[in-house]
Amino acid sequence: MSLKRIKPLLAVAFSVYICFFCNSSFAQETPHHEAASTEAPDHKKEEKFDVASTILEHIRDDHNWHLWGHHSVPLPVILKTDKGFEVFSGAQLVDEHHEPVVYNGNYPYKSFEGKIKIVNEDGTVNEEASKKVLDVSITKNVASLLFTVLLLIIIFVSVANAYKKRGVTSAPKGFQSLIEPIIIFVRDEIAKPYLGDRYTAFMPFLLTIFFFIWINNLLGMVPFFPGGANVSGNIAFTLTLALFTFIITTVNGKKHYWQHIFWMPGLPVPMKIFLIPIEVMGVFIKPISLTIRLFANMTAGHILVLSLIALIFILNSLAASALAVPFTVFISMIELLVGFIQAFIFAMLSALYFGMALEEHHEEELVL
């Protein structure tokens, strides 16, 4: 298919995306306004649209997977308290308008901004009792992660079977021809430049981390089920990935890698003592930077897109829609690129850290 034919298809796809997103993502706000005008016809002023709470509701984790309006998929809630494990549906925590309500289980539970707390009879949070609640539920982010894992297994197994059937020297066909250029890109642009001949041992991790982040970034931009979860914008997710990079780097660190951290060769002793704390801090700053970079970029992208869409509801005019929709399409296209770039940067920096840990230095070249 030529580029001239692809461009109109992309434009149509993004137009449909924005229209559906505007209707489905913010539809739950409209019934509140309608209810307010029905119950109190004497009040001409409508309830003010709360932008901050609406955006935060869409990017945070939850025990129900929102579909559209007041419709959602309930997820299993699993709590560990001093009375043992308790399992119930996430639908028990919300009413028909998707508003939080109290569920009376072993304790009276209520969800506050996606976090389950134990409440008193007057509805206030019992902070002391809530500290004893361990929430191990399958939340929206967890369910999205499981879906991504299943998707990755299907992708890699199908491609591996295609290679077994046709051989590595045959021309790729079908889905294999779509995935192979990406695999070659990771090998030639990420693994080989930083790891050299030792890249083969780290390719499984680099491919997994690249596809895992990229697919989660793409799914986060899809406004309908099974997308819409802000997985990459969850700092626990990015921290876990960064910890894997940190562990692999630490385990594979060679003698010279640790020597350049704790006792740099060729430097005066006072300078070595001065640099040791800085180098040790650098070991932990690297995974922290990986964590914050991915988390901040993806969260900022989601907030920006939602803010532009919210302009339509804030200004409540045709002119606002005509201005906001093109900007939203433009930012969405940029976020597609950012989702790929962030996966690339995370995998590239991981390969760089592995290469630094494996690199062999010659002391005679480092003596000042």
Domain range list for the chain = 76-137, 141-366
Q: What pLDDT sits at residue 41?
A: 46
Whether 252 and 357 have beta carbons less than 8 Å apart is answered as yes
Q: How far apart are CA 350 and CA 355, in angstroms?
A: 9
State the pLDDT at residue 36: 40
pLDDT digits (tens, 9 = 90+) for 191-229: 999 998 899 999 999 999 999 999 999 888 887 777 778
Q: Which residues pair with 86 in a beta bridge?
A: 79
Distance of CA 193 to the CA centre of its chain: 27
Give per-10-residue mean pLDDT for the chain (368 aa).
Answer: 44 45 44 41 52 73 79 88 90 85 90 88 86 90 92 90 80 82 93 92 94 91 79 90 94 86 83 87 92 89 78 70 75 85 94 88 47
Look up residue 189 and give its two tokens: 């642009």
Task: Give per-residue pLDDT as tens, 6-23.
Answer: 444 444 444 444 444 444
